[in-house]
Every structure is written in C-alpha cells, then in structure tokens.
Copies of this chain bind each other. A is one copy, B any other.
Amino acid sequence: MTGPRYTPLAASLPATVPFVGPEAQERDTGRPFVARLGANESIFGPSAKAIAAMRDAAPDIWKYGDSKSHDLREALAAFHRVTRDNILVGEGIDGLLGYLVRLTVGAGDTVLTSDGAYPTFNYHVAGFGGVLHKLPYRDDAEDLDGLMEEAARLRPKLVYLSNPDNPMGSWHSGDRIAAALDRLPDGTLLVLDEAYVEFAPEGTEARYDVDDPRVIRMRTFSKAYGMAGARVGYAMGAKELISNFDKIRNHFGMNRMAQAGALAALADQDWLDEVRGKVAASREAITRIAADNGLTALPSAANFVAVDCGRDGRHARAVLGGLAARGIFVRMPFVPPQDRCIRISCGPEREMELLSRALPEVLSDLR
C-alpha cells in the first residue's frame, strides 16, 4: 500500500512556509498578542461602507461569486482609466503572483529579485522550479539600476520589484521605474508590486501605458483599504497577458462578500484619505518612539516603519523577541544588513502607546 507519486518538482520542495501567522504564534506561546503590528495589516480597518456591503452580501453567500468579478473590474477600470480587459481580480497579490509565475516560469527558468524582498514571490518561483537570482539591497532600497543591469545580463523571465519596498519602506519615483522599462531585455516582464503605493508620496506610482507588454502591476485591498482577510488583489497589464490568466486561474475562486466589500471600499476614497492621514501620524509616532529609545527609524512610504536597532540581526531578533514576550507582534527583515531592523506596522494610538511602553523595557532587559 503506497502513497501517491508526486512530481519530481513537488517531491524536491522543502516544507517551509513563507510566513508564520500571528495566530499560529499565539497558539505556540499560549499568549495572545495585545498589539498586532507585524503583518502590515491596517488596524484602522476598512471603510464602514465596505463592512456594511460585506454584511449585506452575507445572506447571498449561497451563490458563487461572479467568476469574472465584472462589477469590481468595471469600477477599477474607471478608477485607473483603463479598460476592464486590462484588469484581473484574484485572491490577493499572493494568489496573483502564483498564477503569474505558473504562466511564465518552468523548471530552470531564471527569475530576478532583491535579496530580502517578498518571500512569497520566491516561494512561488521555487514552487514552479524557477531559479532565483537575488541582488542585494543598496542603501536599504531595492537596487533599481542594479536590477536592470542584472536583467540585461541574465534575461530572466521575471524581475520582481516592489515599490514602495517591503520590508524597508523605501521607494523609487514612478518616473525612474517607467524609465527602467526601456532597459528591460526582450521577453523579460517586470512584476511591479505596488501593494503599499497608496501610502506613498505623490509621484511614486509609475505612469506608463497599461498595454505596455513589459510590465504587470499588482495592487491590493489588503493594505490601505484594510481588507487583508478578504483576499482581493488585482493585476493590471496588457490585455493579452491579463487574458492568459484565464487559462489557469481558479475561475470561481473569489469570495462573494469580498467582491462586494472591495467595490464599496473603492468607492469610499474619503476613507482612504483618512487612513493615509492616520498612517502618516503613526509613522511619525513610531519614528518618535524609536528616537526616544536611541534608535533610528528609516523613512517609509508604506504603512510600516523599519526601525534600525543599531546592531546586527541577532540583536534585532532579540528586540523582536522581547516585544513578542510583551504581547507585541512585529516582524523583521530576513537578510543582513537589513536584518539590523525590526519592521513595525502603523496603528492607532492605543497600539503606539503599548509599543512606547514595551520598547524601553525590552532594550533595558537586553543591556
């Protein structure tokens, strides 16, 4: 009696997971977190109109969601001044990245990213047998020029760039990114992950023709729109590329309440403005708390701040552990020298207050 025969690729994959969620950590320690500042979720929450729309949609949950997410794509198309056929709605950027990698990356295919950038992208590339090349960060930012030089040399299937960057919060101007498209070799697709771009200064969003076949843009309702638990992301790109996702995607994969919530969230840009203001205030609060403790907060264009703990990764990990022991969930970069930092998500005053009380204790313990 033998088990199934896995593909050689599946058999070769490690059992590691990209992230351990806060609930899993809580179960492991038996202690709930009092401040959830580790997953760049928006504690400020979604628009009240989005919550109302999801609640209103609950009794209709017996129906499958619209497999084409037509209304949401229509609204997104109007919002971004593109056509519906330039937009694909999917199960978060994580899900969309998985589909994109599946469409383009086979065994041995080259993919380029930055060392320390989004682990779930790397997870998908490995999961389809791709070979990842990683370029170090430069000055705590993804090295746009370096990536373009490496791309010209390696001619990868994909180049991943997040702007603003996670986990460091650094950013490039949209103009620089649009200009970089001309440096991509033929057949290399830029995966522009703009999960956090709603928090970034004017001019960070790259402007280019949406039908440009050299780039695909990823956006989400998980961050600024405060709907991480809904799983709604979208990709924007050339019609032909977007239509090819239909060959492989889980057509009926979208939650119906999530579709309704995202539609309402998009319509409430006033709330988004309010969240932007709250996030800016929280970035300042984190920066102040860091300074009060002799630490340096890095500039951030996202809803989190990387705080330089002043020494190496081991020290930052100890700070993170001390915060966790006091019920404060934060994360940190994986790769040196960025791992000298911890990454703290923005949050309301209550969370900032808890952080400001815990951090001096943690640092004092470590002295």
Contacts and interface: CB of A to CB of B under 8 A. Distances in A.
Interface residues of A, number: 92
A44 B63 CA distance: 11
A233 B339 CA distance: 38
A27 to B, nearest CB: 6
Given A64-B229, A92-B252, A103 B70 contact: no
Nearest to A230: B61
A255 B258 contact: yes
Contacts of A43: 62
A72 B39 CA distance: 22
Interface in A89-126: 91-92, 94-95, 98, 102-106, 109
Nearest to A51: B58
Contact of A251 (B19, B51, B62, B104): B19
A66 B23 contact: yes
Contact of A45 (B5, B59, B66, B95): B59
Nearest to A44: B62
B228 A63 contact: yes
A219 B284 CA distance: 49
A229 B65 contact: yes
A63 B39 CA distance: 8
Interface of A: 1-10, 13-15, 17-21, 23-24, 27, 36, 39, 41-46, 50-51, 54-55, 57-68, 70, 91-92, 94-95, 98, 102-106, 109, 127, 157-158, 186-189, 212-214, 222, 226-231, 238, 240-241, 243-244, 246-248, 250-258, 261
Given A1-B212, A18-B251, 6 more contacts: A4-B188, A7-B109, A15-B247, A23-B70, A24-B68, A62-B226
